[in-house]
Structure 1
Amino acid sequence: MCHDYLRPALLIFASIAIGVVGWSGHVLLLPVALGFPVLWSIARTRSVAALVSAGYFLAASRGLPQGVAAFYSSDIWPGLLLWLCASLSFVTVHTALWATSAALRPFRYFLAALVMAIPPFGITGWAHPVTAAGVLFPGWGWWGLGFMTAGLAGLVTRIWPAVAIAFAGLWLWSAASWTEPRLPRWRGVDLELGASLGRDTGLQRQRDLIATVRSAAGDGARFVVLPETALGYWTPTVARFWTSASGDTDATVIAGATVLDATGYDNVLVSIDRKGGSILYRERMPVPGSMWQPWRFLSGESGGARADFFANPVVAIGASRAAPLICYEQLIVWPILQSMLHDPDLVIAVGNGWWTDGTSIVAIQRAATTAWARLFAKPLVTAFNT
């Protein structure tokens, strides 16, 4: 009788440990997440598979309750509720597709992985094990993604120890030869301005940001990237001010901003040089709940951030084509893969993570984008505010 409870308990505790370690924010630890499919497959009942899925996902996204509490300046309960609701899709999919038949498990897990990578379930498809492809198959591109997908299916079969050993060998080789592509003349600027970034839009703040850009340009940067919402609201006045300030430098500024109208707002990246400023990119997937609120549209209300979903996967910046990712888009799978279908020259990842203080959320964003950039051998430029 004790054994009947011990095995499920061990599987659940192991899934929690895998979620914590795999999604700790260290890119080379991402392959630890590959332990989840193994635990899911060796669960003997659907209920245990559900608990294993919940343990993994809740552990991987453990920073959400504290982050939400900080963002809304509230107690922990709203964050806990959002945390549990966000886990519902992951747990539901993996519970529904769990199979007692060993022959069906590879197909079922492949289907679960696919469903969690694309909308609608992919909207909350955090902590996807396929993200580890960039660590195990750096530079392999779509072939690497294919081998990773096949390997995930192999991890839920009886030959999973052999697949795990093969992955471990690739992991060690990758760790020993890890390098990151560099992009000359590009500079991502990290800021430590806390909650004031994007909210303090006074003249002095704009001057300070311009001084930061000029300092980077003075060091040889041709393109300078500032974090999400760095400029606050994007208005004709702000555009003219920054264009005027760019008159004595050759640098192009890529910066986060907010475009507001009567029906809601867009989270955007703008491009500014001496010729003027323009909207470069509109965020495809804002944070569900706190930013993207589709129920407002269904009820005829205004407000909330617009989701452009599959729009503008790549943008032109000078002679280069970039794949932009703003904040939440770095935690899910389909935006980066959609961008890679267009073979961009580089990846730009920006975020405003002041509300994640004390959590590993920004580190996880960096690790995930680094892994995807490595998989497709694309240089990565990041800019975060904390």
Structure 2
Amino acid sequence: MKFSPSPRSLALSAAFVAGGIFTGAVGWSGHTLALAAGVLFPALWAFAPSRGVAALVALAHFLAASRGLPEGVAIFYGSDMSMGLALWLMASLMFVAVHAGLWTPKTGWHRPARYGLAAILMSLPPFGIAGWASPITAAGVLFPGWGWFGLAATAIGLIAVTTRYWPIATLVVGGAFAWSAANWTPPAELDGWAGIDTSFQFSQAGQYADYAQHMATIGMVKEAAGQGASVVVLPESAFGIWTETAERLWTRELAGIDVTVNGGAIVIDQSGYDNVMVEVGGQGSEVIYYERMPVPISMWQPWTTGGANAHFFANPIVDFASVRIAPLICYEQLIIWPILQSMLYGPEVIVATGNGWWTGDTNIVAIQKASAEAWAALFGVPLVMAFNH
């Protein structure tokens, strides 16, 4: 006898999937406080009527959260939207596979334990490489200034909403959000530090800063220094390919100016390249940070040579301008382990940079900034950001 789902079961399934769209679209809208919407995702996943529906909830959540990806990929590669759609779906596979595989119809301790495992898996390599849209990112919105206690409280809340006590857990989390939203203030800035946003555009991937861009950027740094900034942070890729010629240009132009600059660059080696932060001033330069997790596929390509190197757990904090910083370049702001690893070492400031020339009219850069703000708020650490839009 062929089974035919009833209209009621179809409507229920559709409601769960719509909930996944809501948590992804609202939570990752690019507004920091909206990250709290993601807290509802674990409950939708846990109480889904079947494994198939749970998988669809996870898919809906991830695709809604990363909805800017198809357009961004098309711009980055100069291709049509079909390639963007294909990579968008591919990016969701790990998230969906983990949540579909760990879903269970069993009640009691099974659901919270399995959600906890799913959250951990999606926070660490290898699954965490695609760990976008993690509800734990809301910790800084729910419990700003609580640090590791706020992270633990959020984790407990996320697990609690998968149990039969979910109404109480939802009320508690909702109360925490209401209190935080009413008293919300953006993360502090450091006196004398300036993050400079730029708007340099490229027609395709593989283009880097030319002489005109270097001189325009140097002009911005000099202007910031003239306004009192002693430390300037520039976006990812602001220096283009870092060479001895680029170093001589910058040190010559900054000679006699009391300013230290942190700028993004790439450094080429025998196997590919590193996406880095460079400290430069009138006395010379130094590569201070090697990106731990470049963007998969477009930058990090472990199946071939020529891509960006991934340093997964290396250099979680670095010294810059005599300050201990937690560096986050671009994609690292969207996933979990880089920032948590950095915070274990007690940095004095978070420095978040990115290059969003390829993001078009999407909200990808806004999501990166919101994530960085949430983490800075959670740990009560100042935040300096610089993005090329």
TM-score, normalised via structure 1 length: 0.97
The code of the aligned residue for 2:357 comes to W
Q: 1:75-96 CA distances to partner (integer Å, 9 max, x unpaired)?
A: 0111111111111100110011
Task: Give 2:210's aligned residue.
Answer: 202
Matches within 5 A, 1:361-376: 361-376=364-379
Q: 1:3-30 CA distances to partner (integer Å, 9 max, x unpaired)?
A: 1211001111121122111110000000
Which residue, 183, 207, 210 being the options, matches 2:190?
183
SS at the partner of 2:303? helix
| Structure 1: distance between partners of 2:206 and 2:147 | 36
Unaligned 5+ segments in structure 2 are 1-5
Task: Give 1:81's aligned residue.
Answer: 86
Unaligned 5+ segments in structure 1 are 297-301
2:195 is the counterpart of 1:192 = no
Shift of 1:374: 0.6
Task: Give 2:124's aligned residue.
Answer: 118
Q: 1:218-253 CA distances to partner (integer Å, 9 max, x unpaired)?
A: 111111011010111100111111111111211100
Shift of 1:198: 8.3
| Structure 2: distance between partners of 1:16 and 1:269 | 36
Task: Give 2:165's aligned residue.
Answer: 159
| Structure 1: distance between partners of 2:71 and 2:283 | 43
Task: Give 2:248's aligned residue.
Answer: 240
Q: Structure 1 residues 224 and 198 mapped into 2: Cα distance closer, same or farther (>3 Å)?
A: farther
Shift of 1:319: 2.6
Task: Give 1:93's aligned residue.
Answer: 98
Conserved? CA contact 1:198–1:230, under 8 Å = no
Shift of 1:261: 2.5
Conserved? CA contact 1:198–1:229, under 8 Å = no
The code of the aligned residue for 1:321 comes to R
TM-score, normalised via structure 2 length: 0.96
Q: 1:4-62 CA distances to partner (integer Å, 9 max, x unpaired)?
A: 21100111112112211111000000000111111111112111111111111111111
Q: Structure 1 residues 198 and 206 mapped into 2: Cα distance closer, same or farther (>3 Å)?
A: farther
Task: Give 1:299's aligned residue.
Answer: none
2:341 is the counterpart of 1:334 = no
Matches within 5 A, 1:205-354: 205-296=213-304, 302-354=305-357
Task: Give 2:8's aligned residue.
Answer: 3
Shift of 1:200: 5.1
Shift of 1:195: 1.8
| Structure 1: distance between partners of 2:388 and 2:209 | 15
Conserved? CA contact 1:348–1:382, under 8 Å = yes
SS at the partner of 1:71? helix
Count of matched residue positions in the alignment of Structure 1 and Structure 2:
381
| Structure 1: distance between partners of 2:23 and 2:318 | 36
| Structure 1: distance between partners of 2:270 and 2:322 | 35
| Structure 1: distance between partners of 2:323 and 2:208 | 32
| Structure 2: distance between partners of 1:120 and 1:96 | 16
| Structure 1: distance between partners of 2:106 and 2:188 | 44
* Aligned sequence identity (%): 54
